[in-house]
Amino acid sequence: MRTEDLDAVVANEFTSYTFPWTRGIFMDCLKARHECWVAWVEDEIVAHAVLSVAGGEAHLLNLCVRRDCQGCGYGRILALHMVTRAHERGAGMIFLEVRPSNLVAANLYDSLGFNEIGIRNNYYPTDVGHEDARVLALDLTAYFDDDPA
């Protein structure tokens, strides 16, 4: 992801989420040198993700697929890329939060081997208050275990 990608990234956010990230948040992530990636199909950005890596841990902060491209596998491809980047950057664990109501995302993360490790109460805003977040984790040392023994 580059600064010039932000118009498309923010447009995807605003069409995909009721409470999207702002351009300023993405700019801050770029300035902080987080792993910020976009997925292109032909000449259009169809998905984006942001990963923070520090202290031997990673946190998948955002993963969004443009609404008209959901269900095409781009979320899985980008999630796997972010898991790989976390491992390559020396993280032993990767964490994320997901709305319990976002069954598609929850099923994706479950299929990748993430496990629920907790709940963050009232984490996500909703139209009528707040929704809890499921906190998920993936042990990258086991995920990338190259030792067949």
Catalytic residues: 97, 109
Cβ atoms of 51 and 34 within 8 Å: the answer is yes
Handedness of CA 78, 84, 89, 93 (dihedral sign): positive
Tokens 């030792």 sit on residue: 147
Name the β-bridge partners of 64: 48
* The two three-digit tokens of residue 42, written as one number: 């032909």
CA distance 2 to 18: 24
Cα separation of 13 and 62, whole Å? 10
Distance in angstroms (rounded) separating the CA atoms of residues 123 and 131: 6
